[in-house]
Amino acid sequence: MPSLHAGTSASFNGHPVTVQDDVPAIPASGTAAKVAIVGDPRSGYALVERSGMTVQRSVELCAEAGEVGFKAHLRVGGGVIRAKPFAFLNVPAS
């Protein structure tokens, strides 16, 4: 639910709400699905940097303009390390 006060973020029971497009919407009648996750992501989810940043020089793409381009790659990942801090809102099939 959006905030009732201007300038404050949406919240649920005093906790901030984040909308994630990967979680499905509430399905049509007769279809079961997990539609919401409630929990503390700081205690159950980890973000990691997989390797250092690599930078590539790209002369070919910008040669006609007399410029040099650069591409930077940074690999990161993440995942649930403890499932206990999270709870799912399940919508039953019927």
Can you tell me which residue has the tokens 């905030």?
A: 3
Bridge partner residues of 87 (DSSP): 38
In a domain, 36, yes or no: yes
In a domain, 65, yes or no: yes
Per-residue pLDDT at 62 exceeds 80: no
For residue 83, the model assigns a pLDDT of 83
Per-residue pLDDT at 1 exceeds 60: no
Short-list 72, 45, 67, CA closest to 56: 72
For residue 2, the model assigns a pLDDT of 61
CA distance 69 to 12: 46
For residue 7, the model assigns a pLDDT of 73
Can you tell me which residue has the tokens 């959006």?
A: 2
Domain total for the chain?
1
In a domain, 60, yes or no: yes
58 vs 15, residue with greater confidence: 58
- Residue 58: which domain range? 11-91
Per-residue pLDDT at 26 exceeds 70: no
Query: Average pLDDT for residues 27-34, to the nearest whole number?
Result: 71
81 vs 26, residue with greater confidence: 81
